[in-house]
């Protein structure tokens, strides 16, 4: 997936995509990981949805290399991203969560959000839960 924006096209903290759970997701999990490369003038926030429909926020903040991201209090877009054109591995640490929605295929599991009034030129690939 490629996100390409400029400040005139991001007038809100927009959801770029939301994924629903699918059959066969692991019920014993510890992370969601993905690869990304590129740059942005604000960071990215992701929501990991729980079985009750609420979510936990994960904020990438300043990112330039492989990183493990912990649960945050809320969605924030502080920081910038610049991977220097290299693919980096980002892992969302789910070890403190025991109620991620991995079974309700009518419910969400993951959403990716971007900040308002910002330049984004980011590529994402190979999302996995394990």
> For residue range 18-43, what is the model confidence (pLDDT) as tens digits?
999 999 999 999 999 999 999 999 99
* Domain count of the fold of the chain: 1
How would DSSP label each residue in the chain?
Answer: -EEEE-GGG--S--EEEEEE--TT--SS--EEEEEEEEEESS-EEEEEEBTTS-EEEEE--SBSS-EEE--BSS----S-EE-TT--EEEEEE-TT-S-B-SS-TTSEEEEEEE-SS--EEEEEEEEEE-
The per-residue pLDDT for range 6-22, each reduced to its tens digit, is: 887 777 667 788 999 99
Per-residue pLDDT of the chain (130 residues; tens, 9 = 90+): 999 988 877 776 677 889 999 999 999 999 999 999 999 999 999 999 999 999 999 999 999 999 999 999 999 999 999 999 999 999 999 999 999 999 999 999 999 999 989 999 999 999 999 9
Range of the domain at 51: 2-129
């Amino acid at each position: 997936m490629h996100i390409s924006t400029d400040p005139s096209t991001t007038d809100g903290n927009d959801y770029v995509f939301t994924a629903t759970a699918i059959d066969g997701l692991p019920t014993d999990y510890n992370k969601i990981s993905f690869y990304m490369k590129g740059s942005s003038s604000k960071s990215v926030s992701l929501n990991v949805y729980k079985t009750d429909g609420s979510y936990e926020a994960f904020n990438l903040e300043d990112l330039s290399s492989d990183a493990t991201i912990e649960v945050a209090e809320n969605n924030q877009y502080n920081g910038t991203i610049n991977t220097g054109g290299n693919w980096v591995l980002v892992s969302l640490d789910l070890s403190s969560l025991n109620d991620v929605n991995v079974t309700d295929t009518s419910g969400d599991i993951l959403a990716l959000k971007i900040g308002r009034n910002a330049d984004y030129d980011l590529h994402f690939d190979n999302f996995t839960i394990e």
